[in-house]
Amino acid sequence: MIKLFLLLSTILFSKNAISDDFPAIFGCFCEGGLLTGKIKNNQEIKINEKKLTVYENGIFVFAFGRKFDDYVTVSINGKTKKFKVKNKKYKIERINGLPNKKVQPSEKDLIQIRNDQKKIKLSKKIGEKKKLFGSKFILPVKGRLSGFFGSQRILNSKPRSPHNGIDIAQKEGAEILAPASGRVKLVENNMFFTGNTLIMDHGLGLISIFAHMKKINVKNGQYVDLGKKIGEVGMTGRATGPHLHWGVYLLEKPVDPLSLVQSDF
Ligand SMILES: [Zn+2]
């Protein structure tokens, strides 16, 4: 009995001691989710044993990516807490019997595709080291969600890269608003897949990519506030109807834009 009491009090005491030193962590503990928070000057933070970059004022960010384990451990100065990570079911669509011409782009197209990919990859590198995004994200366009984060198509047994973003169907010319504050990092017209493409840097390695736009109303390097018009919905590039594709990345890791809209930071 005494032993049990001692054991219980140790557990309770250590739990309290840990939470006292633990900062508030904002965001979604889920696949596709993003976390942020603040630690003190002299502290360091590790997620699953990996040290995170800590920015000005002790701010850290972390993205789970499309797939993650059921649990994650967060350690701050050696004190560790384990959190449950919500797993997601992604839609997998298998389409077979397509003519190979439709699945395999031509040599000429491949040159453009590689060129486009290079530019997009460059834009995913860290730019602004200040947190430009605020506590809320908004949907850039109000409309019907026609595509979700993480879904994947397998064409003639060849898996395509997963859909790293959401699609919002809306009529051509509808306003697109900045989902969070940031600086324009890339304005590029007529990309092979993404058509007229805009990339915004929200700081700390977090970027938004907007694809298939009809018009882009902002210029490279321009600072844009949350909710300001950045362009119009279109169907440029590979699109079967007018819609906005909104993708978010933390460096190379894809983030589910819906999880941002549903979280407070
Ligand atoms: Zn899309």
Q: How far is the CA of 210 from the centre of ligand 1 (A)?
A: 9
Angle at 234 between CA 231 and CA 238, to 5 degrees: 125
Q: How far is the CA of 193 from the centre of ligand 1 (A)?
A: 10
Q: How far is the CA of 205 from the centre of ligand 1 (A)?
A: 21
Question: What is the residue whose two structure tokens read 């109000």?
Answer: 142
Top-level CATH class of 92-261?
mainly beta
What is the predicted pLDDT for the residue at 20? 57
Q: How far is the CA of 208 from the centre of ligand 1 (A)?
A: 13
Whole-number Å distance between alpha carbons of 164 and 259: 13
* Sheet-wide strand order for 50-51: 50-51, 45-47, 71-76, 79-84
The reported pTM is 0.90
What is the predicted pLDDT for the residue at 99? 82
Q: How far is the CA of 130 from the centre of ligand 1 (A)?
A: 28
Q: Give 20's DSSP letter.
A: H
Q: How far is the CA of 247 from the centre of ligand 1 (A)?
A: 8
Q: 213, 190 in Cβ contact below 8 A?
A: no
pLDDT 10s per residue in the chain (265 long)?
555 554 544 444 444 344 557 889 999 999 999 999 999 988 999 999 999 999 999 999 999 999 999 999 999 998 999 999 999 999 999 989 888 777 788 999 999 999 999 999 999 999 999 999 999 999 999 999 999 999 999 988 889 899 999 999 999 999 999 999 999 999 999 999 999 999 999 999 999 999 999 999 999 999 999 999 999 999 999 999 999 999 999 999 999 999 999 999 9
Q: How far is the CA of 168 from the centre of ligand 1 (A)?
A: 8
Q: How far is the CA of 86 from the centre of ligand 1 (A)?
A: 23
Whole-number Å distance between alpha carbons of 122 and 192: 17
What is the predicted pLDDT for the residue at 3? 52
Question: What is the residue whose two structure tokens read 């809320």?
Answer: 136
Q: How far is the CA of 248 from the centre of ligand 1 (A)?
A: 11
Q: How far is the CA of 244 from the centre of ligand 1 (A)?
A: 7
| Residue 205 CB partners (closer than 8 Å, separation 6+) | 61, 124, 126, 127, 250, 251
Q: How far is the CA of 233 from the centre of ligand 1 (A)?
A: 13
Count the neighbouring beta carbons within 10 Å of the beta carbon of residue 163: 21
What is the predicted pLDDT for the residue at 14? 41
Q: How far is the CA of 167 from the centre of ligand 1 (A)?
A: 5
Element (H, E) at 11: helix 2-21
Residues near ligand 1 ion, CB 5 Å cutoff: 147, 167, 245
Top-level CATH class of 2-84?
mainly beta
Q: How far is the CA of 145 from the centre of ligand 1 (A)?
A: 10
Q: How far is the CA of 61 from the centre of ligand 1 (A)?
A: 25
Whole-number Å distance between alpha carbons of 249 and 122: 12
Q: Residue ranges of the domains in the chain?
A: 2-84, 92-261
Q: How far is the CA of 16 from the centre of ligand 1 (A)?
A: 44
Count the neighbouring beta carbons within 10 Å of the beta carbon of residue 231: 22
| Residue 121 CB partners (closer than 8 Å, separation 6+) | none
Q: How far is the CA of 136 from the centre of ligand 1 (A)?
A: 22
